[in-house]
A and B are shown apart, each in its own frame.
Chain A
């Protein structure tokens, strides 16, 4: 059974059709890239999957169950986490607290135990801190735990977004341009990181990215969007040589 099944999903904003009849199936453990020109509807697909807004038509199933009508925090509890194209951290909280906040759904705490500071609650809070530090370590951020998020350098803010998403313990991770604004060496590093995290945390990854080096190097399958519609789907090799894709997106100079 597929992990994620998106079928015939459409969404418009006013008169603009952001996504039209979008289909996507992700198998357990796959790493799939979603590419296309700016405004093609890639982030809209992420917003639809993560429940930021509902689709106008079509269904989204995760582990066979429809996500229709579920509020975003329930979808996260179900095992889908995401990062953001324009970094959205809790900028005034420390790096550690950013990751702690993302533990809420996984280790529910009742208001009574928190107010009374029961031993169980103290233990839970300690476990959350330990677990948060493990995620920070996995992203190489262990030295920055007490730094306020907005003071982190850009590349580390990107990593923190991924650490925070992982802390919700997803099985499907949606990465929205994790390598945006990075130089070739950093892109290389980010690619290695994503591949390692996928192994370490048994993730299925859906990746939006413009850095072709990363897309071609990491993805097993690529879906190409243009004007909200899928114009091609296939292996990196097939996409690289697909004339429609070359014309719409990659341009003449294919890497």
Chain B
């Protein structure tokens, strides 16, 4: 039993990261009906921003407290990644707003490839995996026979804060209402005085900043490399679809579900090689029986 509780905690940690990234996929899909395939690679960039900022802060003569370094790293990564995503939208996606959806999807894939290869070509990044310096002390609290590491606790708490904040933003502010309005009828929204381009930029910024929270937290537990955005990006994308793409709470739910798949597949199948198979099978089965995802509502056909 303890073993399973321990695994459930691990699943929660991994699932938080998937959920945070899935939010970016789902929000952009929600307002532009576009899958931003570069999002996983934006997540990768956030990991490297966190790497460089934390390394520089720790190597500096400032002697900052670990909590300060962690906070500064998180905020810097969120900010830089948000800027990157807004820039990508501005340069690569906005000119194609009226183009067929397929052009946008291909562009997004290309932007993702570009980011991966730029990262490899950029000497300080390079192709080999890296570790973030230790930002959170490696203490462990044992409670009820389950070992909670400090990193796990921080990951789960910070992710939960980000998710609750985002949920409040989408449900209770005019920005959130404007986002939902755009997803319904983007031609109508400007006629109600809402600047669509600004809302789209904000959506990309928020989605990337939330992914950067994931990227920073991920880098504190695992190594980062220029291709990490592919596998994790796919898993997060599956999370978004499983939860119901376009639905913010669905993305969170899907993220935790995929976290469970990741952790419990090796537990039950005695091998981690089947993880991707289980995840993609889940996606396929779900798409057959519930194409709109767990929380998604059937798309209303506009006549």
Contacts and interface: CB of A to CB of B under 8 A. Distances in A.
Contact of A73 (B175, B185, B194): B194
User: By CB atoms of chain A within 10 A, which of B168, B184, B192, B206 has the most?
Assistant: B192
B174 A107 contact: yes
B194 A104 contact: yes
Given A125-B172, A125-B173, A90 B190 contact: no
A105 B189 CA distance: 11
A109 B174 contact: yes
Contact of A101 (B172, B174, B195): B174
B205 interface: yes
A109 B175 contact: yes
A168 B193 contact: yes
B196 interface: yes
Contact of A109 (B173, B180, B189): B173
A45 interface: no
Contact of A104 (B178, B185, B205, B300): B178
Contacts of A93: 177, 180-181, 184
Contact of B180 (A84, A92, A115): A92
A105 B198 CA distance: 12
Interface string A33-60: 0000000000000000010100000000
B111 to A, nearest CB: 23
Contact of A125 (B174, B178, B181): B174
A114 interface: yes
A76 B191 contact: yes
User: By CB atoms of chain A within 10 A, which of B184, B189, B193 has the most?
Assistant: B193
User: By CB atoms of chain B within 10 A, which of A77, A90, A105, A168 has the most?
Assistant: A90
A29 to B, nearest CB: 22
A114 B178 CA distance: 13
Contacts of A52: 187, 191
A168 B177 CA distance: 15
B174 A128 contact: yes
A106 interface: yes
B190 A76 contact: yes
Contacts of A76: 190-193
Contacts of A17: none
B72 to A, nearest CB: 17
A101 B205 CA distance: 20
Interface string B157-185: 00000000100110011110110110011
B207 to A, nearest CB: 13
A47 to B, nearest CB: 10
A111 B173 CA distance: 10
B267 interface: no
B192 A102 contact: yes
Interface in A183-218: none
Contacts of B169: 114-115
10 contacts: A72-B191, A84-B188, A92-B180, A101-B177, A101-B178, A103-B174, A104-B192, A109-B175, A114-B173, A117-B168
The 7 lowest CB-CB distance pairs between A and B, nearest first, are: A105-B193, A76-B193, A72-B190, A73-B190, A104-B194, A102-B192, A101-B181
